[in-house]
Amino acid sequence: MSVLVTGGTGFVGIHVTARLVESGESVVALSAEGELDGVSREFLGAARDGVACVKADVLDLDTLLAVMERHGVDRIIHGAAVTAIGDLEPEGARQAALVNVGGTATVLEAARLAGVKRFVHLSSASVYGATDPRLPLDEEAPLKPNGIYGITKRAGEEIVRRYFELFGMDGAILRLSAPYGPLERPNPLRTVMSPVFHWCRAALNGDEVELADDLERDLTYVSDAARCVVLAFHGPTPHHRVYNASCGENLRFSDILAALARVRPGFRFRLKGGGALSPFFRNSLRGPLSMKRAKKELGFTPRYGVESGLSRYLEWLERHPL
């Protein structure tokens, strides 16, 4: 039997796929592209022999069912999503709603019809909306998303919850926070990069970073986020339906840049007052995600601090110039 990972060739999805194969799973990576590019194949290494790549639309129920039958899928991790963020939101709003809400419902229906044993849904910290950055957010905090991406992710969560209740499905929802790291790179489906991507590129190019807004966020090394997902996937029936997946603490951008200067001697940055909020974090300042539940019930603790995460990302970017 095998695991279907929707969005399995994307940034977070491929890290989840790699961890599943390393644990002995056979994975079907479903995506709009269908095939791994050279960089993704290199990242997976020998693990790619355990991955079957399939090109399909998560809105196409018949194709999903056919893929699941052909590959003997009995469990699903649903990560396919459209991230309409910041200035790109007006152009991407409709597509985000179609894929993030309609696609989630369609994958759930395929899971129900196929008798899938476990369903793990990848959501986002954006469902919390804007909150006090000083106060950690546990999984019971109010959900007040304020952008189309967060709104669609909250809607997707509600549909997942209701399917679980209606049909007795086993599974969990993971709320990921601001992942960064290897395989984050521009492509036709991912046009908005994290600040860490831009800062690391600047460090490699010898450019100075001008920081207009000293914001803060619980930026999470992608390997840690993927490990949390796989722990939830492989664990016993979860005590709760929702788990945060984060580094667990907010870091000021200036502190992250200072860490980057320590791991990349010669990197320079300076603070500039009076700037406008970065589009990536516009209207979304919030507290860090509390990781108490994931630590207690999933056995998860982050393995990468800011310096080790930045160091590994720099090494990867240096080997894969864009």
Express each pLDDT in 40-82 by its tens digit: 999 999 999 999 999 999 999 999 999 999 999 999 999 999 9
Whether residue 144 sits in one domain with residue 70: yes
Q: Is residue 86 part of a domain?
A: yes
Whether residue 260 sits in one domain with residue 164: no
Whether residue 313 sits in one domain with residue 294: no
Whether the per-residue pLDDT at 297 is higher than 90: the answer is yes
Task: Identify the CATH number of the domain in which residue 45 sits.
Answer: 3.40.50.720
pLDDT in the model for residue 244: 98
Q: Give the long-range contacts of residues 197-203, CB within 8 A, separation 24 or more.
A: 199/256, 199/257, 199/260, 199/269, 200/260, 200/310, 200/313, 200/314, 200/317, 201/317, 201/322, 202/267, 203/260, 203/264, 203/267, 203/314
From first CA to last CA, the distance across the chain in angstroms is 37
The structure tokens listed for 38 are 């050279």
pLDDT in the model for residue 193: 84
Q: Are 29 and 56 in contact (CB under 8 A)?
A: no
- How far apart are alpha carbons 152 and 172 in whole angstroms? 18
Whether the per-residue pLDDT at 143 is higher than 90: the answer is yes
Whether residue 255 sits in one domain with residue 122: no
Whether residue 57 sits in one domain with residue 93: yes
Q: Which residues of 200-237 are buried (b: 16+ CB within 10 A; e: fewer)?
A: bbbbeeeeebebebebbbbbbbbbbbbbbbbbbbebee
Q: Is residue 201 part of a domain?
A: yes
Residue 245 host element (H or E): strand 242-245
Higher pLDDT among residues 29 and 90, named by residue:
29
237 Cα distance to chain centroid: 22
Higher pLDDT among residues 62 and 93, named by residue:
62
pLDDT in the model for residue 272: 81
20: left (phi over 0), alpha (psi -120 to 50) or beta: alpha
Whether residue 225 sits in one domain with residue 143: yes
Nearest to 185 by CA among 78, 83, 80, 317: 317
pLDDT in the model for residue 173: 98
Nearest to 227 by CA among 302, 133, 169: 302
Tokens 């999984």 -> residue: 139
Whether residue 206 sits in one domain with residue 93: no
Q: Rg (Cα) of the chain, in Å, rounded?
A: 19
pLDDT in the model for residue 212: 84
Whether residue 232 sits in one domain with residue 86: yes
- The boundaries of the domain holding residue 139 are 2-180+220-248+289-303
**At 89, which amino acid appears?**
E
Whether residue 92 sits in one domain with residue 146: yes
Whether the per-residue pLDDT at 104 is higher than 80: the answer is yes
pLDDT band for position 84 (50/70/90)? low
| Average pLDDT of span 77-100 | 87
Any bridge partners for residue 270, and if so which? 210
pLDDT in the model for residue 274: 61
Higher pLDDT among residues 99 and 83, named by residue:
99
Whether residue 116 sits in one domain with residue 264: no
Counting residues of the chain whose pLDDT is more than 70, the rounded percentage is 95
Q: How many domains does the chain have?
A: 2
CB atoms < 10 A from the CB of 128, how many?
A: 24
Q: Is residue 186 part of a domain?
A: no
Q: Is residue 185 part of a domain?
A: no
| Average pLDDT of span 277-285 | 67
Q: Are 288 and 249 in contact (CB under 8 A)?
A: yes
Whether the per-residue pLDDT at 201 is higher than 70: the answer is yes
Any bridge partners for residue 210, and if so which? 270
Nearest to 195 by CA among 203, 105, 187: 203
Whether the per-residue pLDDT at 282 is higher than 90: the answer is no
Counting residues of the chain whose pLDDT is more than 90, the rounded percentage is 82
pLDDT in the model for residue 277: 57
| Average pLDDT of span 282-290 | 87
11 Cα distance to chain centroid: 7
- Encode pLDDT of 1-34 as tens digits: 999 999 999 999 999 999 999 999 999 999 998 8
- Encode pLDDT of 167-195 as tens digits: 999 999 999 999 999 999 887 667 778 89
Whether residue 97 sits in one domain with residue 112: yes
Q: Is residue 188 part of a domain?
A: no
| Average pLDDT of span 142-147 | 93
| Average pLDDT of span 250-262 | 96
Q: Is residue 91 part of a domain?
A: yes
Q: Is residue 187 part of a domain?
A: no
pTM for the predicted model, two decimal places: 0.95
| Average pLDDT of span 268-272 | 90
Whether residue 205 sits in one domain with residue 144: no
Q: Is residue 69 part of a domain?
A: yes
The structure tokens listed for 41 are 């194949």
Task: Identify the CATH number of the domain in which residue 200 sits.
Answer: 3.90.25
